[in-house]
Amino acid sequence: MTASRLQAFWNHPAGPKTIFFWAPAFKWGLTIANVVDFEKPPDELSYPQQTAVAASSIIWTRYSTVITPKNWNLFGVSLATAGTCLYQISRKLKHDYSSEARPLAVNE
């Protein structure tokens, strides 16, 4: 990177001197936590938690493209977080509603 590009990044309205950079940077922690939870049994996942985080992330994905300046860091992390949450919800739904996950009744 040339010095002028680094300086442009540093002084950008959504650069590292602003909250618009650091809030999305720390939000990557949610995405990483969800990826780590891919190993967690589906019965330990929470519908309300995953739904709330997914909905929030979808809203922030849209918002990041209509604000000025456009915040592509926020767009990327929100899209990734929504994706991991929707995957977790699909794992839980498959576990809760698939025929192989249900124990057989005694008289069946």
Helix boundaries (H) for the chain: 3-11, 19-36, 47-66, 72-97
Residues 6+ apart with CB under 8 A from 89: 45, 47, 50, 51, 54
Q: What is the mean pLDDT of the chain?
A: 89
- Answer for the pair 54, 83: CB distance below 8 angstroms, yes or no: no
Higher-scoring residue by pLDDT: 22, 101:
22
Model confidence at 83: pLDDT above 90: yes
Which pLDDT tens digit goes with each residue over 34-80? 999 999 999 999 999 999 999 999 999 999 999 888 889 999 999 99
- What pLDDT does 3 receive? 82
Higher-scoring residue by pLDDT: 28, 102:
28
- What pLDDT does 99 receive? 66
Which pLDDT tens digit goes with each residue over 32-45? 999 999 999 999 99
- What pLDDT does 42 receive? 94
pTM above threshold 0.85: no
